[in-house]
């Protein structure tokens, strides 16, 4: 990559132009996008597992229908994102193999178990809430196919966030046992939700370059702060307590000050040692292996159709 080419590319980014699949791009830009979009796609797919766990146990038909629709939406998000990644010259099969052999990550949050129905509320409210906080700015990311995928994904994520908050409202306003379950779910998901934004800025290896390329629009800490500022009043509305005794409004800064998550736990989880990592990867591997005959059949059918057309 000559310095002139790199400078011309950076000038396009700085001018707010979008980069399209057939445009020239530096190898590092392509690789960073494959890593981030691929990881994002894997997160959507793995993210179906903790909630899929509760579809058959939803308390009412309406809740079941909503949860089923939400989990299906996540599959759709994964598919858009795999398609966006494919425009960068990688196949979905390659991405899946990289996930299964540990060369690619997925979001840390999905390595925590969902133990009660209240967790469906906490996941929708906090996990989808954090996902939206991160994804709304990505609608303006510099890579066209990624930015466009984000538009629909964000619309659907806001429905997910609301259905989670609605569950929390029912639980928090219900019997004392339901309130206790809602509080317990918040207690378990609060810090893992804060970890979704990635390590603190001083430990974020990719942020500086990704922001210069407008692959990321904000730093990890900026988005984490925004999430805390928006979520604390929602917890107050629910009458629930954020499990952080040091949480306090800082008048001078115009932000809440809060306790950082336990970063050693975060690094353990992303290294594969969280509570559910083995289960999640085993489920993905089983789905991949069990689906081999479908992929083979589709390929055989495509080959036969092509041969028939030639004849
Ligand atoms: N879970 C797992 N891994 C993470 C997480 C996380 N929450 N946060 C950071 N990491 C990893 C990074 O991937 C990187 O590892 P790698 O070099 O092996 O890829 C390492 O930790 C260092 O972090 P950063 O330098 O800060 O990484 P990056 O610049 O990629 O920022 C972030 C991480 C904020 C998650 C970014 O990739 C991003 O915005 N991704 C798009 C959104 C996304 O993936 N959302 C999925 C979760 S929610 C959902 O939609 C279902």
pTM of the model: 0.96
Asked if residue 196 has its Cβ within 6 Å of ligand 1, the reply is: yes
**Burial zone of 290 (CB within 10 Å; 0-12 exposed, 13-18 middle, 19+ buried):** exposed
- Distance between CA atoms of 279 and 26, rounded to whole angstroms? 37
Q: Which atom of ligand 1 is nearest to the CA of 131?
A: 48
In this predicted structure, what is the pLDDT of residue 51? 97
* 262 φ, ψ (degrees, to nearest 5): -75, 100
- Distance between CA atoms of 101 and 285, rounded to whole angstroms? 10
| Residue ranges for the chain with pLDDT beneath 70 | none
* Helix (H) / strand (E) containing 158: helix 144-172
In this predicted structure, what is the pLDDT of residue 218? 97
| Residues 264, 271, 269, 258, CA torsion sign | positive
Contact assessment for residue 280 and residue 46, using Cβ atoms and an 8 Å cutoff: yes
| Tokens 């967790």, residue located | 119
Q: Is 91 helix (H, G, I), strand (E, B) or coil?
A: coil
Which residue's CA is minimally distant from atom 27 of ligand 1?
206
State the number of CA atoms in the 13 A half-sphere of 220 facing the CB: 19
Q: Tell me, in angstroms, the distance from the centre of ligand 1 to residue 194's CA.
A: 12
Q: Tell me, in angstroms, the distance from the centre of ligand 1 to residue 195's CA.
A: 10
**Token pair of 84 as six digits:** 């966006």
- Distance between CA atoms of 260 and 278, rounded to whole angstroms? 26
Asked if residue 98 has its Cβ within 6 Å of ligand 1, the reply is: no
- Distance between CA atoms of 246 and 257, rounded to whole angstroms? 7
Q: Tell me, in angstroms, the distance from the centre of ligand 1 to residue 14's CA.
A: 23
Distances (CA, A) of 41 to 98, 176, 253: 12, 39, 35
Asked if residue 195 has its Cβ within 6 Å of ligand 1, the reply is: yes
- Distance between CA atoms of 34 and 28, rounded to whole angstroms? 10
| Tokens 């939406």, residue located | 73
In this predicted structure, what is the pLDDT of residue 1? 81
Asked if residue 156 has its Cβ within 6 Å of ligand 1, the reply is: no
Contact assessment for residue 124 and residue 164, using Cβ atoms and an 8 Å cutoff: yes
Report pLDDT digits (tens) over 91-107: 999 999 999 999 999 99
Asked if residue 219 has its Cβ within 6 Å of ligand 1, the reply is: no
């Amino acid at each position: 990559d000559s310095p002139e080419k790199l400078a011309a590319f950076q000038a396009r980014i700085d001018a707010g132009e979008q980069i399209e699949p057939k445009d020239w791009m530096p190898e590092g830009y392509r690789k960073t996008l494959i890593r981030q979009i691929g990881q994002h796609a894997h997160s959507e797919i793995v993210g179906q597992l903790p909630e899929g766990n509760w579809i058959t146990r939803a308390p009412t038909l309406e809740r079941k229908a909503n949860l089923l629709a939400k989990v299906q939406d996540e599959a759709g998000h994964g598919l858009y994102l795999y398609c966006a990644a494919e425009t960068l010259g990688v196949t979905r099969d390659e991405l899946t193999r990289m996930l299964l052999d540990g060369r690619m990550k997925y979001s840390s949050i999905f390595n925590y178990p969902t133990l009660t129905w209240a967790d469906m509320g906490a996941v929708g409210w906090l996990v989808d809430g954090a996902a939206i906080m991160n994804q709304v700015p990505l609608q303006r990311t510099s890579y066209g196919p990624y930015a466009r995928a984000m538009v629909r994904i964000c619309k659907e994520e806001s429905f997910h966030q609301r259905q989670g908050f609605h569950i929390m409202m029912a639980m928090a306003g219900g019997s004392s046992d339901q309130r206790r379950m809602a509080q317990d779910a918040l207690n378990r998901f609060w810090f893992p939700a804060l970890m979704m934004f990635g390590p603190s800025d001083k430990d974020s290896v990719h942020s500086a370059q990704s922001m210069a390329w407008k692959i990321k629009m904000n730093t990890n800490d900026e988005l984490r702060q925004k999430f805390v500022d928006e979520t604390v009043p929602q917890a107050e509305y629910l009458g629930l307590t954020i499990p952080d005794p040091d949480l306090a409004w800082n008048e001078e800064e115009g932000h809440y000050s809060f306790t950082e998550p336990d970063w050693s736990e975060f690094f353990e989880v992303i290294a594969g040692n969280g509570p559910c990592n083995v289960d999640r990867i085993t489920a993905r591997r089983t789905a991949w292996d069990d689906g081999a005959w479908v992929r083979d059949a589709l390929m055989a059918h495509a080959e036969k159709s092509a041969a028939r057309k030639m004849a």
